[in-house]
Each structure stands twice: as C-alpha cells, then as structure tokens.
A = this chain, B = another copy of it.
Amino acid sequence: MLKKTDKRKVSKSTISRLFVYLREVSKLANLNIRTISSAELAERVNLGAAQIRKDLGYFGHFGVSGSGYDIKELERALKRILEKNKNCRVAIVGCGNLGTALISYGGFQKQGVEIAAAFDTDPKKIGKKYGGIPVQPLDKMPGAIKAKKITIGIITVPAQNAREAVDCLVDSGIKCILNFAPVGLMVPEDVTVKDVDLSREIETLSYFVDNNVVG
C-alpha cells in the first residue's frame, strides 16, 4: 500500500479508472467468474491492459502471473483502496430540472453516494420533497451540512446564481464541489471544484463530428 505522502503521485485519472475497474469486477463477481486477466478486463472497459496493470501497480500486487487477477480478491482490494466502505454524503444546491433528476436517481446509492440534503431559494420549492429529501432554504445549509456530515456539494443552480451557491457551500465548510453551472468559479485554495459542462461536451463532440476527426 502506498504511503500517505505518496498519494499525490497517483493521478486523478488513475483513481477515476479504479472506480471503473471496481464496477466491472463487482459485476463479474456476481456472475461467479473466478479470475480475469488484465487483457480481458481491458477489453470490457475499453482501456489498455498495460494501463490497468500500471494503475493497480501503484497500490500493490494483486495479480498472479500466468493466471491473472482473482476477482473476489481484486474487488476487496479496490474497495479498500477507494475506501468504498465509507459512504459519501452530498448536498444538492438548486432543485430544478437537473437537481431533481440527480436527487431522484437511484444509482447513486448503489455506488455508496448518498444525497443527504437539498437546497433551493425558491419559496415555492422549499418544503417539497424529492425522493424523500426535503428542500431547505440556504440559511439552513451550514447546520444541515455539519449535522449530516456532508462532504460534497453539487451545484445545479443557474449560472448567475452559482456565485451565491458556492459561497454558501464554502461558508458551510465544504471543500469539494461538483459544478454543473457553466461558469468558472473562484474558490479558496483548499477547495476543489470539478466542472461538468454538458453544453460544452456536446459542442466539443459536434466540432469533431463536423470535422470528421475522431477525438
């Protein structure tokens, strides 16, 4: 296992891929398959075999030369690396089209992601429930975030309100934000923002369609 100080040497993309491996390996475990080679796993997740071996290599030796990886063992190892025992709790800020779609999505639970609170400024929405989660006003945020041990904020408010949403999350002690609003957000050094810009994804794809270039 990697020492704490070495963790920053493992790239974000590696970690992100480990979740893909875990997902696939869990699927295989349910099918009662015993072992898998890096090449077979690579095929299933559309990645290179060397990539998989290298990614795993940062954390230890999980495979057996000649026969590949024991699926149960690999699953256990990945769960340990990714701390998938520990649930992660998130708050949704902005209960519109997208926010409510996320709240209503059943798939997060299975991945250990719990939507633990939802916020909105619209008085007509406050008090409503989506997927059992009541919509609260912003001034309840600091308390709720602490009480529910929420560590991630998800911003699904219109771009022009994103500033307010971020400030409120940061003031509530949140250090990690997933932002769907199409604006660059300025945050303190110790806060991480990951942007998901869906319009941009589509536009970028469309550029490559029109130019017949595989991106």
A interface with B by C-beta (< 8 Å): 4, 7-8, 12, 15-16, 19-20, 23-24, 44-46, 82-83, 86, 88, 90, 97-98, 100-102, 104-105, 107-108, 111-113, 151-152, 154, 175-176, 178, 182, 184-186, 190, 192, 194, 196-211, 213-215
Contacts and interface: CB of A to CB of B under 8 A. Distances in A.
Nearest to A200: B19
Given A105-B98, A111-B203, A208-B176, A196 B198 contact: yes
Contact of A196 (B7, B107, B201, B209): B201
B196 A113 contact: no
A10 to B, nearest CB: 9
A204 B192 CA distance: 12
Interface of A (DSSP majority class): helix
A45 B186 CA distance: 9
A62 to B, nearest CB: 18
A184 to B, nearest CB: 4
Contact of A19 (B102, B113, B154, B203): B203
A15 B15 CA distance: 25
Nearest to A13: B204
Contact of A20 (B45, B98, B200): B200
A62 B113 CA distance: 46
19 contacts: A15-B204, A15-B208, A19-B200, A20-B184, A46-B184, A86-B210, A90-B202, A98-B101, A98-B105, A100-B101, A102-B198, A107-B182, A108-B199, A111-B203, A113-B206, A152-B206, A176-B208, A176-B209, A192-B205
